[in-house]
Amino acid sequence: MPTYAPERPEVVRTLELRGGNVEIFEARDAEVLAEGPAGTGKTRTWLALLNLLCHTYKPLRVLMLRKIQATMPASCIAEFQQHVLHAGDGVYFFGGSKSEPAAFRYSNGSIIAVAGLDNAEKVLSSFWDLIYVNEGTDLSEAEWETLTTRLRGSDPEHAPMDKDGHLFVYRRLVADCNPTYASHWLMRRTDNGRCRLIRSKLQDNPA
């Protein structure tokens, strides 16, 4: 049975973006890393952006993953369910099957599949419009490079668009991480310009 977004009192919530979190929403680079301490709002901002894009473009295919799938329910999935999704959004959680990964499914046909790289057969055999990695520094550079090959180009068979007919064209691999050492491969990737680095601060989180 599908699991729907949890029922909560109906309230109007606005996401106040500051500093690096504004940059997250505006970035269109092929690779983007948001780095900052816990509590800066970077994960919440990425998840809010994924949700907005899935509601805006149909049918968008988004992949959310971590290095180890078992860590997701208590981290990014919990954040997504508790602070981003709202009752009545038309989003439900599909627990997966032998042929399909677990995913948040939208009424317009968009999906956010969830997976870990320790159990990624179903998702790495598919192509995605946007891939979000929670704690990107846990991955190896070879795993990151593999993910870049899973971003599809625009084609007649899959062309997500908004209500005005504008195609989704900014396919990208994005991630967040806590501060790490300068010689980490992902930080070196930002140094040589292959990946855009966005730094978030505690002051960026209105909470």
Predicted pLDDT of residue 12: 46
pLDDT value, residue 174: 98
pLDDT at residue number 192: 96
- Please write the tens of the pLDDT for every residue from 28-74: 999 999 999 999 999 999 999 999 999 999 999 999 999 999 999 98
CB crowding 177-196: b at 16 or more within 10 Å, else e: beebeeeeebbebbeeeebb
**pLDDT tens, position by position, 67-122:** 999 999 989 999 999 999 988 888 999 988 888 889 999 999 999 999 999 988 87
Residue 199: closest CA among 66, 65, 182: 182
Query: Each residue of 19-40: pLDDT tens digit?
Result: 999 999 999 999 999 999 999 9
How far apart CA 155 and CA 94 sit, in angstroms, is 27
Mode of pairing for the β-strands spanning 130-134 and 31-35: unpaired
Considering only 50-59, 85-94, 132-141, 160-169, which range has the smallest mean pLDDT?
85-94
Provide the mean pLDDT of the chain: 89
* Band (203; pLDDT cuts 50, 70, 90): confident
Mean pLDDT confidence for 163-169: 95
